[in-house]
Amino acid sequence: MTTPTAIETLLQKFAAGDPTLLTHMSADIDFRIDHFHDDADVSWQSGQGLDAMGPLLQRLAKEVFPQGTKAIRIISTPLDLSGWVMTTFEQEFFYGIRDCLCNSITYIISHETNGQVDFFRETVTNVMPLPK
Indicate whether this model's pTM tops 0.85.
Answer: yes
Name the CATH code of domain 6-127 (choices 3.30.465.10, 3.40.50.300, 3.40.720.10, 3.10.450.50).
Answer: 3.10.450.50
Long-range CB pairs of 90-96 (<8 Å, 24+ gap) are: 91/15, 92/130, 93/64, 93/65, 93/67, 93/68, 93/69, 94/65, 94/66, 94/67, 95/64, 95/65, 95/127, 95/129, 96/62, 96/63, 96/64, 96/65, 96/66
From first to last of the 132 residues of the chain, give the pLDDT tens digit. 577 899 999 999 999 999 899 999 999 999 999 988 777 777 888 999 999 999 999 998 998 899 999 999 999 999 987 999 999 999 999 988 888 899 999 999 999 999 999 999 999 988 888 887
Domain map of the chain by residue range?
Answer: 6-127
